A and B are shown apart, each in its own frame.
Chain A
Amino acid sequence: MSLFNFGDSVSPISGPPSALEYANDRIFRGISWASAFMVIALTAFILWEVGRQAAPAVYAYGLDFITGTEWNVNKGAFGVLPEIWGTLYSSLLALALGGLFGIAIAIFLTQDFIHHRLSLVFRTVIEMLAAIPSVVFGLWGIYILIPLLKPGAEWLHDQFGWFPLFSTDLAGPGMAPAALVLAIMILPTVAAITVDAFHRIPYKVKEAAYGMGTTRWEAILKVMVPTASSGILAALVLGFGRALGETMALAMLIGNANQISLSLFSPANTLASLLASTFPEAGQLEVQALMYAALVLLAITFLVNVLGQLVQQYTIRKFEGK
């Protein structure tokens, strides 16, 4: 019977793979596995290599490196407490400002304040802000922002000089312009992740709130924001992580001064800008110390980012039930 004889009727476009195709498949899958594994290997290699270079300094200075306040190559004294302080202080200031504006903009874009099309345009503008290179913001900060801030800073220092935040004058570069530029730079990150968090909330949640007779802002503050809270938290943590590692704009604006001060107008330094400004001319001993500083920066940003990722994964699971 030829009715069930598939052997002849198998058309050339569909059929079992040939031995060559099997071999190709194996090889290709092997190569793509190797590529995926490369991301893991690269991360491990970065940690290992920076750790290995920093090892002599870690043995030599130990924990004094983190609590020391002096960076002097000639004396062989290396301490990064002022840099750690500057990194955390500038990032917290930036987070307070950038976070507030970022969340406000996310609410503005998602809660029907403007027409859908217009909100897309606005979103693109915010994303363009994220695309502007760090050095360009640095240049803008030096020649636009600092001259703009100076009169105000002078007045604040004259009137409220007793208040720790205004205890010094803004002589040029300093904490305030650095933190402001940093806030502008993390704003798109915070806004984008918060917008995603709001988009995850089903529309009927808001309709239910309106049905209860809430005003628009009662719906936002009492229903939408609490529902999106874990997503907003992830946005803030990841924005903070970005601020911690931002380098060039800070190296240009913060003044690279090795001091711990609460004043918004005094120059300071951060770990990343210490690396940027010192590395190119460093000798061997200083390079080892800088590697240690890099390790400290890596540890701080790693912790913050892993935390942010975990919060974000938790959010996604909560809403998508994965």
Chain B
Amino acid sequence: MSTIDLSADTAERPLPQLSRQGLEARALKSGVLTGLTWLAAVLAAVPLISVIYMLMVQGGARLFGSGFVEVLTGLPPAGFEQGGGIGPAIVGTLAMVGVASLISIPIGILAAIYNGVLEPRSWTANTSRFLAKVLTGVPSIMAGVFVYAVLVIHWGYSAWAGGIALSVLMLRTVVLAAEEAMAQVPQRMKDAAYGMGCTRTQVIWKVVLPTGLPGILTGVLLAVAGAAGESAPLLFTALFSNYFISQLSEPTASLSILIYNFSGMPFPNQIELAWTASLVLVLMVLGFNILARLIGQPKV
């Protein structure tokens, strides 16, 4: 007879232990790795906390003290001079970020409209999207080198040159972020507008832009924040100045270059001002960042 005796088979093999064994080798390994991951996460937060703490302690003393008006409006001190402020640098940074925004935001959004809505699959769109991504990885100092070659060699250092160098850096961010924001607009909304007899331009102005506005604004504000913190492209385009600018065609101070210049000086007053300038710069950059996040939050 070929009947298979199943009872013997099941009797020999006990049921596997299915509950979790905390001391089993693989469970231990899992526990150790979990601990290490927690450690890594905590360690990664240490630099940020340390930077913010030092900014508050070293920079805050000057900024939140009684002399904050002098710090925010005064001229940078020379040599052994006491006091002084970072006024020209604040004005210079704002002016150059302003120039950069005026150039890059309209061009960036228009390019994003073409890449994302008008002809997303065309050669121009594919190439410019790819190059914008590649430009994101190009070192920011290259924007300075480029503007130096094109403008500074002929017309000298100026706020224009600095602003244009920053606009090269902002453009790539605005193009990519605005395109992504407009891609979120549902196709059926556009189709409804086409069905009413809209031209493509009308669809963009009346449907795509208003609907995608929060996302576009987020991208634009992040680009502005990034430009405000940049320093490498300003080194040899805007140079530096100890005085307030009266026009955009002269060398201009900026917060980031002031920090760079003062960080290596042997005078405690200058170093303290470098920390103060850092605090102001970080507050500016983080302010734009937080604003971008608040605007971009989905309103559901």
Residue numbers of A with Cβ under 8 A of B are: 13-17, 21-22, 24-25, 28-29, 31-40, 42-43, 45-46, 49-50, 52-53, 100-101, 104-105, 107-108, 113, 122, 124-129, 131-140, 142-144, 184, 187, 215-218, 238, 241-242, 244-248, 251-252, 272, 275-276, 279-280, 290-291, 294, 297-298, 301-302, 304-306, 308-309
Contacts and interface: CB of A to CB of B under 8 A. Distances in A.
Given A21-B202, A40-B128, A132 B139 contact: no
A101 B51 contact: no
Contact of B231 (A135, A280, A291): A135
Given A100-B40, A133-B281, 13 more contacts: A15-B197, A16-B197, A35-B111, A36-B111, A113-B37, A133-B229, A136-B282, A140-B47, A187-B44, A216-B34, A248-B232, A291-B149, A308-B137
Interface string B44-88: 110110110011001000000000000000000000000000000
Do most interface residues of chain B lie in helix, strand or loop, or is the interface mixed? helix
Interface in B176-234: 195-202, 204, 225-226, 228-232
Given A32-B111, A37-B128, A46-B146, A245 B196 contact: no
B236 A33 contact: no
Interface in B213-268: 225-226, 228-232, 235-236, 239, 256, 259-260, 263-264
Contacts of A52: 149
B275 interface: yes
Contacts of A142: 263-264
A21 B115 CA distance: 22
Interface stretch (B2-10, B94-102, B167-175): B167-175
Contacts of B133: 305, 309
Contacts of A122: 41, 45
B111 A132 contact: no
Contact of B239 (A15, A131, A280): A280
A18 B200 CA distance: 13
Contacts of A216: 30, 34
Contacts of B144: 275, 279
Given A136-B259, A139-B259, A217-B34, A305 B44 contact: no
A128 B222 CA distance: 11
Contacts of A36: 110-111, 114-115, 124-125, 128
